[in-house]
Amino acid sequence: MPDEAEQIFFREPLIVRSDIAHSKIEKRYVVLGQTDAGRRLFAALTIRKKRIRIISVRDMNRKEREVYRRHEETGT
C-alpha cells in the first residue's frame, strides 16, 4: 500500500488539515485523498527535513467519505 498511498498527493481533490489533537511533539496533518484506482484514503503524516512521513493510512470512514464528497462537489 505505500505506493498506493503516495498517489493521493498527485490527485485532486486533496484535503489537508492540521491535526492539533496529535501534534504534541511535532506538527501532524490529516489528509483525505483518492488513489488512481479510486480508492479513498485517510492518511496521518508529519513533515521531517522537507520530507513527508506517512504515519498511518487507511480507507476513509463514512464521515470522512462524506466530507470528501462535499469537497468534490463544492471545491471548498
pLDDT at residue 76, rounded to an integer: 62
**Which ranges of the chain have pLDDT less than 70?**
1-2, 76
pLDDT at residue 25, rounded to an integer: 83
pLDDT at residue 17, rounded to an integer: 94
C-beta of residue 43 within 8 angstroms of C-beta of residue 30: yes
pLDDT at residue 73, rounded to an integer: 87
- Distance from C-alpha of 30 to C-alpha of 32, rounded to nearest angstrom: 7
User: How would you label 25-56 residue by residue, b for 16+ Cβ within 10 Å and e otherwise?
Assistant: eeebbbbbbbbeeeebbbbbbbeeeeeeebee
Domain spans of the chain?
2-74
pLDDT at residue 38, rounded to an integer: 95
Residue whose C-alpha cell is 496529535:
22
pLDDT at residue 45, rounded to an integer: 95
